[in-house]
């Protein structure tokens, strides 16, 4: 089930589902402001870091849950 949630998170943006601005759309809107010109790389790195943290956290939680419930694959 957790793998499904990770795939859902990667394929769609959860922020968009609840009706708020998408993270990437918000970053791109910030680039239109003259005060933020030249910071495109930092914005995209921040977005990538957020996605990585969420996906990595969910995968670690999944591993711990499988270990706890003894649902891992037999070797």
pTM exceeds 0.95 for this model = no
Task: Report residue 33 CA to chain centroid gap.
Answer: 25
**Residue 13: Cβ within 10 Å count:** 17
User: What is residue 35's DSSP assignment?
Assistant: G
Tokens of 14: 């959860």
Could you give the 3-state DSSP secondary structure of residue 19? coil
Quick: pLDDT tens for 2-61: 777 777 777 776 555 554 567 778 888 888 888 888 888 888 898 889 888 988 998 898
What is d(CA 75, CA 73) in angstroms, rounded to the nearest whole number?
6
Q: Tokens in use for 44?
A: 């995209």
């Amino acid at each position: 089930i957790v793998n499904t949630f990770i795939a859902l998170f990667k394929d769609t943006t959860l922020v968009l589902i609840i009706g708020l601005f998408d993270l990437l759309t918000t970053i791109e809107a910030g680039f239109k402001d003259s005060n933020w010109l030249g910071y495109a790389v930092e914005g995209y790195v921040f977005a990538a870091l957020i996605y990585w943290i969420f996906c990595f956290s969910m995968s670690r939680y999944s591993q711990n849950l499988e270990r706890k419930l003894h649902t891992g694959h037999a070797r």
